[in-house]
Amino acid sequence: MLPFIVLVLPPLVLGLLSLVAKASPGPRPQRLRWLLRPASWLGLGAVALEAWALLGEGPFQREGVGMGVLWALQSDGVSLAFGGLLAVLGGVLVRFTCVHLDGEAREGAFQSALLLALGAGWLLAHSASWPVTLLALGLQGLSVAALLNFYGERAGARQQTRRFLRTWWVSDTLLVGAALLLSVPALAF
């Protein structure tokens, strides 16, 4: 039986690395660079453990209660495929940013947003409850806005970021409303 921590570990590690990168937003964040490659291997390791558990016990769901809320993550073929894709894509993107953004004035800030987006993507792929889904989508929106606005001195980047944020706020507000409506027992279908 796969423990809950194996499903939670990749987004936790990516989130912590995102905070480390945010603490040193300038060029060549040295504290972060030597941690990035093992972090990408962690995602692949988690996917391998998840695949092993799926072969042994089939699709499963793990739950935990925190802050009075049920936090549930699941593993099935779709989440495994999406998690594997994210692990591989994340490794490629992190390596790409280390090479091609080397020395960029805000390299650490970009890596912070990228790591946050990857961690939120993992959560979204394995989400089995509304709180996890809403948290993952909220983190995705923040990180995508930061990535879009990386070159904030450019008018086009600022304009696209504003467009994205308007759409994101409207869609997330509607999603929270739907989650609240579905959580009221009298309104559940």
Helix/strand/coil for 175 = helix
User: Which one is predicted more confidently, 183 or 159?
Assistant: 159
Domain of 37 in residue numbering reads as 4-183
9 inside domain:
yes
Tens digits of residue pLDDT in 174-186: 988 988 888 776 5
pLDDT band at 60 (very low <50, low <70, confident <90, very high): confident
Q: What are the phi and psi torsion angles at 62 (to 5°)?
A: -120, 140
35 inside domain:
yes
189 inside domain:
no
80 inside domain:
yes
Per-residue pLDDT at 6: 79
User: Which one is predicted more confidently, 183 or 92?
Assistant: 92
Nearest to 119 by CA among 132, 107, 109: 132
Least confidently predicted of 101-105, 111-115, 141-145: 101-105
Half-sphere exposure of 176 (CA within 13 A, CB side): 11
127 inside domain:
yes
Tens digits of residue pLDDT in 116-134: 999 999 999 999 998 999 9
188 inside domain:
no
| Distance (Å, whole) CA 82 – CA 61 | 16
pLDDT > 70 in the chain, percent: 95
40 inside domain:
yes
Count of domains forming the chain? 1
Beta bridge partners of 72: 63
Match 């961690």 to its residue by tokens.
Answer: 119
Q: Does pLDDT of 161 surpass 70?
A: yes
Q: Does pLDDT of 167 surpass 60?
A: yes
